[in-house]
Amino acid sequence: MTSTTLPVAQSRTRSVYKNVTLWTFQGWIAMFFIAAGYAKLTEPMTNLIALMGWPAVAPENMVRGLGLVEMALGLSVLAPLISWRVGRPLLLSASAGLIVMEATMLMVHALSRDIGLAVVNLILLALTVPVLLGRRRA
């Protein structure tokens, strides 16, 4: 019978790589959602309709509100940079909220046959789910 226990140094190295990977994912998620939220808040509706299409069937207040929510969730993903104790619950809540939003928008884009934006949401889900699962255990 063999043991699968890793030496301490190897275990520590894996932990460091996992932490760096999760922080990288968090940075990408934050950059995407802060930028997307900023665009929804500042761009004229005609530009948003040309870029995304779905704002044509949504009220302007909903589009602007979604931009505000995206920016807040994007910033919350980076909250552990300030304080792990306070920021970790914000990160977990923001990650869960982003997963719900990404899954919803994936369905919206898939049903409207907008494959490009559906793939973007699939990639965002692939980044956000590991962050939620990895930081939940930390």
pLDDT at 4: 67
Structurally, the chain folds into a number of domains equal to 1
Q: Is the dihedral of CA 114, 60, 65, 40 positive or negative?
A: positive
pLDDT at 10: 83
Which mean pLDDT values do the consecutive 10-residue runs of the chain (138 residues) have? 70 90 97 97 95 90 97 96 92 97 94 92 98 90
Helices (H), the chain: 8-42, 45-52, 60-77, 84-111, 115-137
Alpha-carbon dihedral angle through residues 36, 38, 39, 40, given to the nearest 10 degrees? 90
Contacts of 114 (CB under 8 A, 6+ apart): 53, 54
- 39 within domain boundaries: yes
pLDDT at 3: 59
Q: Residue 72 is part of which domain span?
A: 8-137
- 1 within domain boundaries: no
b/e per residue 6-17 (b: at least 16 CB within 10 A): eeeeeeeeeeee
- 2 within domain boundaries: no
Query: Which residue bears the tokens 């602007």?
Result: 64
With 0.75 as the threshold, say if the pTM is over it: yes
pLDDT at 1: 55
- 82 within domain boundaries: yes
pLDDT at 30: 98
